[in-house]
Amino acid sequence: MTERIVLAYSGGLDTSVAIGWIGEATGAEVIAVAVDVGQGGESLETIRQRALGCGAVEAYVADASDEFANEYCVPTLKANALYQGHYPLVSAISRPVIVKHLVKAAREFGATTVAHGCTGKGNDQVRFEVGIQTLGPDLKCIAPVRDLALTRDKAIAFAEEKGLPIETTKKNPYSIDQNVWGRAVETGYLEDIWNAPTKDIYDYTATPEFPPAPDEVTISFEAGVPVAIDGVRVTPLQAIKELNRRAGAQGVGRIDVVEDRLVGIKSREIYEAPGAMALITAHKHLEDITLEREQARFKATVGQRWSELVYDGQWFSPLKRSLDAFIEETQRYVTGDIRMVLHGGQAIVNGRRSETSLYDFDLATYDTGDTFDQSMARGFIELWGMSAKVASGRDIRVAGQ
């Protein structure tokens, strides 16, 4: 039986050419695997037919939009995950769901190898291959660009020579990855980190310089999951899409950052994540009134480590699972409503309410009805500062000797 290789297939030039390129280099049959994670654009059937037209013996396509929102975006939201405090893990969280379907397709079609279109200097090669090693440890991995010398100019020449049904004259200088959680843009003139991004690179967001009238929105959560927008029940996927539309119209969620890649280099990235950033902002503000102080402080540390693990391709790792358990437990009381105004590139919270809130008006007020016993404060301060007071006395005593 001829060896079979499953290929993570986007429908673009590089992965379309990779079908034939892999076949010629290895003698194997190629099964193209396309996964919809809410990236928009062409239909799965169009992509399927293109894969077959480029020489794939089979084409596995999956609409994983709801799966991606429920099982990948929601945990990211519960963690308030922002790598290095900026990046909402747009690409990082889509790779594990694609890996899941790659391994499933490999089992279904009897493939022994999984291929992806990543280069040797990015993060995604690690995310794909570590995920595949974990879910399918018997499977081998290859990367045509990295392992089989498939460069951009060779891809164009190969497509023209074979008459492949794919556009080969793209003038777009950027590398773009997108899904429902956001959009990532890199390379081209952006590699000079002094260059400001031009308006043409944005798609999910309108310019915030001349915004429409302010848009006030109320987001309702149950146990950390967004369940309603302005009182209308929604699924997580619907919530993300609706806020992509409304926050995007106000220019919310534009991010320009130089981040530390896993492979050890710094990379300039432009992100658009209007829905993700609006939801993370709302969720964090709801946690501010529903999480106990020490729990909230420690969760911030856990969220940072969670973000690093996911960025580094460790979605399926034991530590990630353990952190998931902690984060999930913290969400027990994260139920309530957040009101925010979307305008001019900002998502500003101006109201919050929850039946499980720890905010006590009678303790917080300075007006009549204040139930806080201020006589307790003097003794509390004495005890709180005792260790520092004793240490300071020691320092003064020693310095005087």
Residue with tokens 């130089």: 258
Distance, in Å, from the CA atom of 269 to the CA atom of 188, rounded to the nearest integer, reads 11
303 is in an annotated binding site: no
271 is in an annotated binding site: yes
10 is in an annotated binding site: yes
| Distances 65 to 39, 61, 125, 149, 184 between C-alpha atoms, Å | 9, 12, 22, 33, 18
253 is in an annotated binding site: no
182 is in an annotated binding site: no
Residues 6+ apart with CB under 8 A from 334: 78, 221, 223, 224, 283, 286, 287, 290, 291, 356
Distance, in Å, from the CA atom of 119 to the CA atom of 267, rounded to the nearest integer, reads 14
202 is in an annotated binding site: no
| Distances 241 to 66, 180, 301, 327, 393 between C-alpha atoms, Å | 11, 7, 29, 24, 60
8 is in an annotated binding site: yes
CA atoms within 13 A on the CB side of 225: 17
16 is in an annotated binding site: yes
- Give which of 56, 55, 45, 42 is closest to 12, Cα–Cα: 42
248 is in an annotated binding site: no
259 is in an annotated binding site: yes
DSSP string across 247-301: HHHTTTTEEEEEEE-TTS-EEEEEEE-HHHHHHHHHHHHHHHHHS-HHHHHHHHH
CB 64 within 8 A of CB 104: no
Residues involved in catalysis: 14, 95, 124, 175
291-315 exposure pattern, b = at least 16 Cβ within 10 A, e = fewer: beeeeeeebeebbbebbebbbbbbb
Structure tokens at 52: 């077959």
123 is in an annotated binding site: yes
Structure tokens at 197: 């991004």
342 is in an annotated binding site: no
11 is in an annotated binding site: yes
317 is in an annotated binding site: no
Residue set of the binding site: 8-16, 87, 117, 119, 123-124, 127, 175, 259, 271
Residue set of the binding site for L-citrulline: 87, 123, 127, 175, 259, 271
Residue set of the binding site for ATP: 8-16, 117
Residue set of the binding site for L-aspartate: 119, 123-124
